[in-house]
Structure 1
Amino acid sequence: MTTSAASRIADAALLDLARTLDAADPLRAHLDAFSEAPGVAAYLDGNSLGRPLRDIPERLAAFAREDWGTRLIRSWDEQWMALPMELGDRIGRIALGAAPGQTVVADSTSVLIYKLMRAALDRPGSGRTEGRTELVIETRNFPTDRFLAEGVAAETGATIRWLEPDPVLGVQVADVAAVVSDRTALVSLSHVDYRSGALADMPAITAAVHDAGALMMWDLCHSAGVVPMQLDDWGVDLAVGCTYKYLNGGPGSPAFAYLRREHQGVLRQPIQGWWSAADIFAMGPAYEPAGDIRQLLSGTPPITSMLAMQGMLDLIEQATIDGVREKSLSLTDLAVRAVDEVLAPLGVRLLSPRDASIRGGHVTIGHPEFREVTKALWAGGIIPDFRFPDGIRLGLSPLSTSHVETITGVLAVRDALESRAG
């Protein structure tokens, strides 16, 4: 049997397995809720920008035609004033394990991380003025998180303690326990590593941080909407997440922030805009912050940008976050199997945890040729993303990605590599 014949048989077996898994997928009907992209055979970047739902054009048109076009400024009183908190409550209930009144949609991820970092370092009674001057963060965290930590430290005189996690397995409880102390004000980590997809042990790490008397903040950008969590039950103090990945809010859709109820009215965020004032329309001479979750707002909320994610929240609620996670595990397990069978022989490395229980919603693979391979894949309608220095992320958004699409993408990576080898 020739190598090409053997390869064709292996390809057919993987595709047959993918079709079987798709046929048994209880969430398969949701695939039809998303728009088709002409010329795209496999979209494997839903962990970076989620696909739009089919009804988004009409949803946006109805908003322009009715809520804005007909009701005009009256829509603020009728619905928009409360939308940041109402939408935050929905995200909290459906995806975060958070009771009402603790999550709000506002600003960008960067702005919200800044607000919460500053508030945590200035915590009354146990912040930096009382000797807790250290901010703990990992060297492999997303650039925004690291850059903001450096900026906040420069503003406040705080010291950064850098964690050096395993590049595949991510931050472990022991890593955190080894550096926190009575000098620690805040620990800021990502729930899912944006490179490797490693899933951190949120409850155990949060408990270790609390044992040291510090606050715990989680970046949920790569886990919200794909990994179940229980922020309330696990004692999380603060969290921030974006809405344009697994929540499919569209490019630049606003982020959300979680602030545990016991910290509301205690922590004070630094961007004191009129929307966070206790009486928003008093227009008084002095600033007095709201005592509830609205205290995290600053300026006028981006109402138009909050529209697209609402349909996706409907879908997640129907599927349940546990159902989404089961589909995610099935997709990533299949991707890892395909990588082992068709890519490992070509020197491709698995850069994500092999254990599905500690893996988020994407699988990362590495090869020196992947920068150029990614360009070829995009040109051929296969859309993963590249991460420096030599990684391709296979982002498998469960409600919009099929098993066949996953295998199609992996086989395309193989073909692109082989074509470069001549």
Structure 2
Amino acid sequence: MSDATSNPIPEPTAGVDGDLAARAAQLDAEDGLGKLRERFTLPDGVVYLDGNSLGALPAAVPDAMSDVVRRQWGELLIRSWDESDWWTAPERIGDRIAPLVGAAPGQIAVGDSTSVNLFKALVGAARLAAPGRTRMLVDATTFPTDGYIAASAARMTGLEIVPVDPSGAAERMTADTAVVLLNHVDYRTGRLHDLPALTRAAHAAGALVVWDLCHSAGALPVGLDAHGVDLAVGCTYKYLNGGPGAPAYLYVAARHQDGFDSPLPGWNSHAEPFAMTPEYEPARGAARARVGTPDILSMLALESALGVWEGVDVADVRAKSLALTDFFLECVAAYVPAGKVEAVTPAGHAERGSQVSLRCGNAREVMAELIARGVVGDFRAPDVLRFGFTPLYVGFADAERAARTLGHIFG
């Protein structure tokens, strides 16, 4: 590896470097979403391609949080549950997320972690399933926590876990299948799975489907209502830029809400939470998915962060995402010596999320040097470099510089 201090990345020169840099500048000049970068606070000189792990800071959040802490908490104190409308935050913010995932209002509650929401979704789906079904199909390539939670939910509901590759999951859905858990985008490779077709297949088998949207919400259209999804979960600290540890969300389709039996019935999801009765009566609508007291500070940081989506069409975000990842792959092919990296993200647009994953030797060391040179992506064991493209603040010049830096490391 070269030393980042003694051997800095040169500016683009004539030839391939200059041509690609010039194209990047032209593409940025024509980018209708380019002005949205002003809505974020980003360090100078850094190409940030890890928004699929932690989104950048929306510029409005610090002032909003100052008001939450100093005035709402500091001055109004307990009165803010009513006067600042803290109590309705889980459903109110859920309704702001809803259009980003193709859902009508009243179907999303924000709160808890993705893992907790997934547990609620899987157990709730199993309790909604037709009697006599014995299997829970689980994406074999899923983020590990999903597998851990699914195994626990299966033990609780008496179902058998059946790992499946999403590409062949439809063939494994039978009359014995109660619930299917799938990831919309594979976190390691960036592969986009066919949500509409797999949802149809699950329903044709009489099963319910739960989708994990962590790596798709805010990066591409999801269409939960249009495609008849039963339940879905997702985090808000990636493409939704809600901040580290921001609360996750749970979508329960309106048609299932009256029958949704949460395994975590808390006082916040009670029909009369302040009656303090020993008997539990679930609330109606999305509030049924709540559990305990909302985490107000991070909840309201997320609400402010969602302001960056004002006037933004997710279809435009998807178009730019595909253009960015196409251009990055072109630049990698031009700058990186043949045989040094291998793309594991599908080339086809229908199968690509908003990231590019490259396999290479010494991947951990390569990523460390990229970060030292101001290109921030991340490493996934054992050999994957992962680059997330968040169209709201990543431009084509960022993609070109990242690829050129990678090429310089291998040069």
How does the TM-score come out when normalised to structure 2? 0.94
Instruction: Give the 3-state SS of the residue equivalent to 1:264 in structure 2.
Output: helix
Instruction: Give the 3-state SS of the residue equivalent to 2:311 in structure 1.
Output: helix
Q: Any gaps of 5 or more consecutive residues in structure 1?
A: 165-170
Within-5 A mapping of 1:96-135: 96-123=101-128, 126=130, 130-135=131-136
How far the C-alpha of 1:31 sits from its partner, in A, is 1.0
Residue equivalent to 1:163: 164
Contact 2:60 2:305 in 1 (8 A): no
Amino acid at match of 2:139: E
1:361 to 334, 354, 358: 354
Q: Which moved more, 1:367-376 or 1:105-114?
A: 367-376
Amino acid at match of 2:187: Y
Residue equivalent to 1:290: 283
Contact 2:137 2:164 in 1 (8 A): yes
1:62 to 55, 59, 67: 67
Change beyond 3 A, Cα 1:265–1:16: same
Residue equivalent to 1:168: none
Return the alpha-carbon distance in structure 2 between the equivalents of residues 61 and 319 of structure 1: 26
Instruction: Give the 3-state SS of the residue equivalent to 1:240 in structure 2.
Output: strand
What whole-Å deviation, never above 9, does each CA across 1:133-159 have from its counterpart, x for those lacking one?
Answer: 211112111111111112222333311
Return the alpha-carbon distance in structure 1 between the equivalents of residues 228 and 125 of structure 2: 15
Amino acid at match of 1:221: C
Amino acid at match of 1:342: Y
How far the C-alpha of 1:344 sits from its partner, in A, is 5.6
Amino acid at match of 2:117: L
Residue equivalent to 2:34: 28
Within-5 A mapping of 1:169-180: 171-172=166-167, 175-180=168-173
Return the alpha-carbon distance in structure 1 between the equivalents of residues 305 and 356 of structure 2: 23
Q: Any gaps of 5 or more consecutive residues in structure 2?
A: 1-9
Contact 2:331 2:400 in 1 (8 A): yes
Contact 2:242 2:306 in 1 (8 A): no
Residue equivalent to 1:307: 300
- Considering only aligned residues, what root-mean-square deviation do their CA atoms show, in Å? 1.8
Instruction: Give the 3-state SS of the residue equivalent to 2:309 in structure 1.
Output: helix
The structure 1 segments of at least 4 consecutive aligned residues displaced by more than 4 Å after TM superposition are 4-8
What whole-Å deviation, never above 9, does each CA across 1:89-148 have from its counterpart, x for those lacking one?
Answer: 11102x011111101101000000011111111226x1xxx2212111121111111111
Return the alpha-carbon distance in structure 2 between the equivalents of residues 319 and 5 of structure 1: 33
How far the C-alpha of 1:280 sits from its partner, in A, is 0.6
Residue equivalent to 2:319: 326
Change beyond 3 A, Cα 1:5–1:147: closer
Return the alpha-carbon distance in structure 1 between the equivalents of residues 153 and 323 of structure 2: 40
How far the C-alpha of 1:195 sits from its partner, in A, is 1.3
1:405 to 382, 398, 404: 398
Amino acid at match of 1:35: T
Return the alpha-carbon distance in structure 1 between the equivalents of residues 297 and 176 of structure 2: 43
Within-5 A mapping of 1:75-224: 75-78=80-83, 79-93=85-99, 95-123=100-128, 126=130, 130-164=131-165, 171-172=166-167, 175-224=168-217
How far the C-alpha of 1:7 sits from its partner, in A, is 8.4
Change beyond 3 A, Cα 1:147–1:8: farther
How does the TM-score come out when normalised to structure 1? 0.91
Residue equivalent to 2:409: 416
Residue equivalent to 2:53: 48
Return the alpha-carbon distance in structure 2 between the equivalents of residues 188 and 394 of structure 1: 25
Amino acid at match of 1:77: D
Contact 2:219 2:314 in 1 (8 A): yes
Instruction: Give the 3-state SS of the residue equivalent to 1:160 in structure 2.
Output: strand
Instruction: Give the 3-state SS of the residue equivalent to 1:218 in structure 2.
Output: strand
How far the C-alpha of 1:33 sits from its partner, in A, is 1.7
Contact 2:271 2:281 in 1 (8 A): yes
Contact 1:316 1:324 in 2 (8 A): no
Amino acid at match of 1:114: F
Residue equivalent to 2:3: none
Return the alpha-carbon distance in structure 2 between the equivalents of residues 281 and 117 of structure 1: 28
How far the C-alpha of 1:8 sits from its partner, in A, is 5.9
Change beyond 3 A, Cα 1:269–1:6: closer
How many residues matched? 401
Instruction: Give the 3-state SS of the residue equivalent to 2:172 in structure 1.
Output: coil
Change beyond 3 A, Cα 1:344–1:274: farther
Return the alpha-carbon distance in structure 1 between the equivalents of residues 382 and 343 of structure 2: 14
Amino acid at match of 2:354: G
Amino acid at match of 1:152: A
1:72 to 72, 77, 80: 77
Change beyond 3 A, Cα 1:369–1:188: same
Among the aligned pairs, what percent are the same residue?
A: 42
How far the C-alpha of 1:389 sits from its partner, in A, is 1.3
How far the C-alpha of 1:346 sits from its partner, in A, is 4.2
Return the alpha-carbon distance in structure 1 between the equivalents of residues 73 and 386 of structure 2: 39
Matched, 1:339 2:332: yes
How far the C-alpha of 1:41 sits from its partner, in A, is 2.3
Residue equivalent to 1:248: 241
Amino acid at match of 1:84: P
Return the alpha-carbon distance in structure 2 between the equivalents of residues 351 and 182 of structure 1: 34
Change beyond 3 A, Cα 1:5–1:266: closer
Return the alpha-carbon distance in structure 2 between the equivalents of residues 265 and 279 of structure 1: 16
Q: Which moved more, 1:392-401 or 1:8-17?
A: 8-17
How far the C-alpha of 1:82 sits from its partner, in A, is 0.8
How far the C-alpha of 1:5 sits from its partner, in A, is 13
Contact 2:337 2:410 in 1 (8 A): no
Return the alpha-carbon distance in structure 1 between the equivalents of residues 60 and 280 of structure 2: 42
Q: Which moved more, 1:335-344 or 1:13-22?
A: 335-344
